[in-house]
Chains A and B, each alone.
Chain A
Amino acid sequence: MSESSLRSRFESLLTGDPGLVIAVLGAIYLAYILAGIVFGFTVRGHMNSLANLTFYIAVFGMLALALNLHWGYTGMFNIGVVGFMGIGVYVTAIFSKPPAAQGGAAQVGGLGLPLGVGVVAGVLAAAVFGAIVALPALRLRADYLAIVTIAFSEIMRFTFMSSTFETFTVPDTFDLTILGTTLISFDPVADTVGFGGGSGLILNYASPLEAFLKFLFLWDPYLGLVDFVGEYAIQTNPKPVVDSLVYGLLLLVVVGIYYWLLTWTGESPFGRVLKAIREDEDVANALGKNTDVFKLKAFVLGCALMGFAGVLWYAGRGSITPPSFRPNITFFVWIALIIGGAGSNTGSVLGGAVFAALLYEGPRYIKNLIEAAIDVGDGPGSFGQAMAALGSFDPVPFLVYTLNSISQLRLVIMGVVLIYLMHNRPEGMLGHRKEVASSIDLSRPEGSVHEEPAATDGGEKE
């Protein structure tokens, strides 16, 4: 390939969708870094906040992409996103947690399998549950699918929480015997596994990042990187900071893989049928497409991707508890998708990034910034106290109270943004675009014999 064609390729990369994504991400990071410098963050504080930001940009990007397959492409109204995430991470935990120590604390054990096996199992479980939900529900109209999916995600949360499923006793051996021949004989080390009930599960397996890097034989170079950072940037205990930054960057790579997978899914005859189902399922049927099969496949793929995103979100944390899987996560993903524009994969990534940076992390970041700059002290304990001071023309208690309640206020801000968008730009950032569902350019093939008559009617309507 010649140098000039390489360059033109590179330029088209920067002016096209990837360029747009890079520009938006760049702006977000620049704003965060500049604000941090202005308010006097330490290097450690900087890196921590960037790692946090990267993490949420990535997970919301992945989830918005998966939801875009359901809603943006196929028109399937899934409001049970968090249920599939929960299944993914809970099944991963059960597979990969080490067996409970005999006579140890009441903590529930797992099957003790390698983390990679657990992740695959978690993703497959999310896919299987997706199929179970979809089989009866996809024949119904869109709003019934919505009811079924949100009910399902709540059922999963209550299942994780219930004492009935807190522990299971594992049989001593699994034997699969058909016609007298033993096909599989498996002796699990674990005696009890389970969802852990209301107190959740402690994820006491190897750190996912460590497991992954060791798998790639990159663990030693990585430790070298940590030493390097320890020497030049953060003297005390650099590893947690580097860990979370590198994990965030790896998640961005996964977003890239999701994007690539879903773009290929959408820009294909398969994606074209999905779009047709969204527009008018009867027409797709009348054109000979077995729409039930297409819907099922799209739903299951999306659920598997949601399950994997759930694993990446929660599996690196020390523990998981059922309240993490409340429907508010589902609605966050929906807001991200609506901001970005349903129907556009690039829009989904942008929506995830903008939602994470401005609405999800933004308010908390502002609080951290202010606290780093000035000592706000303890605020008033209640809204009444904050208002009382306002009556005597002292705004400080009210402002401090506002700052302390910023987590709750986030929801209000999200609501306001959502209402604004519905009124002024319901199609989101990129939802208006023609992302043509085809694996090839659809303009008239070259060498086609048809002679265009010199512009006759210019597409006027008849």
Chain B
Amino acid sequence: MSETTETGERTTAPDDEAQGRTRYPLQVEGLRKTFGGIVAVDDIAFEVEEGSLTGLIGPNGAGKSTTFNLITGMNDPDAGTVRFNGEDITGRAPHEIANRGLARTFQIARELEEMTVLENMMLAPKNQQGEKLWRSITPGVRDNVRRQEEEVLERVWEVLDFFEIEHLAEEYAGNLSGGQRKLLEMARALLTDPDMLLLDEPFAGVNPTLEKRLLDHIHELRQDGYTFLIVEHDMDLIMNNCERVVVMHQGKILMKGTPAEVKESEDVIEAYLGGEV
């Protein structure tokens, strides 16, 4: 990365466009969204490097969650483009984006409460034959569905073991504690077989023990080549774990850089300690 500007203005283009595909799975340019008269996200641009753990931080109302929603298609941007693996995915439906390998979790864990943990997990994998109605209700063809379900189930149990929530498998997701829900959500997102995960405040409401476990999981997954973009309030946590940080403030990007650079930025300190509001 070449640019380390101190303002929200983008001054440098991402490196070589030809390289863009491999080096930057996610590229956001000129993204803008207004709700009524409020500009929630104002012409932001950033990119996430492959295999990195990038933090997106900022005070409340900075536009972080809206940015996530714009990237994942939950909201349509008013302007700008989102590119994933070199492909323009701006304004595509959430399910299309998810199927291209960009998975997300929600700020308030949104597990499917009246489904068991196992059902939650079984839901996630892509390309399940039995999701076609006729396959599931045609005698004979249903046997193929069952065979594939057995394969999916094995993976589900592996992931349950990995996240150490296998003892909760038969529970209704609604009976899980806040932290367990966060684990379930991440496990479920992982089962969609993504290239990149967007985690919206994965540590909110999670006790320190579980927080450490979640972090260990994230680092372990990074070793396996997953890319992460994480929204988080906790500055220390971001500073200690991310190698790139994007700071948002009032819908704009305040600065981008390494944690050390961000730490020393006057602007960031002012934004967090409340300068002009």
Contact = CB atoms under 8 A, between A and B. Distances in A.
Interface of A: 261, 264-265, 268-273, 275-276, 278-280, 282-291, 294, 297-298, 301, 343, 434, 436-440, 442, 444-445, 448, 450, 457-459, 461-462
7 contacts: A268-B145, A269-B122, A279-B112, A279-B115, A291-B95, A439-B145, A440-B150
A291 B73 CA distance: 14
Interface of B: 72, 74, 93-96, 98-99, 103-104, 106, 110-116, 118-119, 122-124, 126, 128-133, 136-137, 142, 145-146, 149-150, 153-154, 156-157, 161, 166-169, 171-172, 176-177, 179-180, 188-189, 192, 207, 209-210
Given A264-B142, A273-B131, A282-B110, A440 B149 contact: yes
Given A286-B94, A445-B153, A269 B128 contact: yes
A442 B126 contact: no
A438 B122 contact: yes
B137 A264 contact: yes
A278 B74 CA distance: 18
Contacts, number: 148
Contacts of A289: 95, 123, 131
A343 B113 CA distance: 14
Contacts of A261: 137
Contact of A284 (B113, B123, B137, B176): B123
B150 to A, nearest CB: 6
Nearest to A289: B95
B210 A462 contact: yes
Nearest to A263: B137
A284 B113 CA distance: 13
A270 B145 CA distance: 10
A439 B99 contact: no
A72 to B, nearest CB: 11
Contact of B116 (A269, A288, A434, A459): A434
Nearest to B146: A439
A388 to B, nearest CB: 55
B95 A459 contact: no
B19 to A, nearest CB: 28
A280 B110 contact: yes
Given A276-B123, A279-B115, A462-B179, 17 more contacts: A268-B137, A269-B122, A269-B130, A276-B115, A282-B110, A283-B110, A288-B99, A294-B131, A343-B114, A434-B116, A437-B119, A439-B142, A442-B116, A445-B150, A445-B157, A462-B207, A462-B210
A283 B112 contact: yes
A265 B112 contact: no
A286 B72 contact: yes
Contacts of B95: 285-291
B67 to A, nearest CB: 15
Given A279-B112, A287-B124, A270 B136 contact: yes
A273 B112 CA distance: 11
A297 B133 contact: yes
A161 to B, nearest CB: 35
A397 B114 CA distance: 52
B98 A288 contact: yes
A270 B180 CA distance: 26
A264 B141 CA distance: 12
B154 A442 contact: no
Nearest to A441: B153
Contacts of B96: 290
Given A276-B123, A462-B209, A285 B131 contact: no
B11 to A, nearest CB: 34
A269 B136 contact: yes
In this complex, the member of A269, A290, A458, A461 whose beta carbon has the largest number of chain B beta carbons within 10 angstroms is A269
In this complex, the member of A436, A457, A462 whose beta carbon has the largest number of chain B beta carbons within 10 angstroms is A462
A440 B132 CA distance: 16
B115 A265 contact: no
A285 B153 contact: no
Contact of A442 (B122, B172, B209): B122
B145 A269 contact: yes
B153 to A, nearest CB: 6
A296 to B, nearest CB: 10
A445 B157 CA distance: 8
A236 B153 CA distance: 62
Contacts of B210: 462
Contact of A273 (B72, B123, B157, B189): B123
Nearest to A343: B114
A289 B130 CA distance: 13
A271 B136 contact: yes
Contacts of B150: 440, 445
Given A264-B137, A448-B157, A458-B167, A288 B112 contact: no
A439 B94 contact: no
A287 B153 contact: no
A432 B114 CA distance: 10
B122 A272 contact: yes
Contacts of A434: 116, 172
A53 B124 CA distance: 44
Lowest 7 A-B CB distances belong to which pairs? A269-B130, A268-B136, A288-B98, A279-B112, A461-B177, A285-B94, A269-B128
Given A269-B128, A270-B130, A450 B157 contact: yes
A438 B153 CA distance: 10
Contacts of B131: 269-270, 273, 289, 294
In this complex, the member of A265, A269, A286 whose beta carbon has the largest number of chain B beta carbons within 10 angstroms is A286
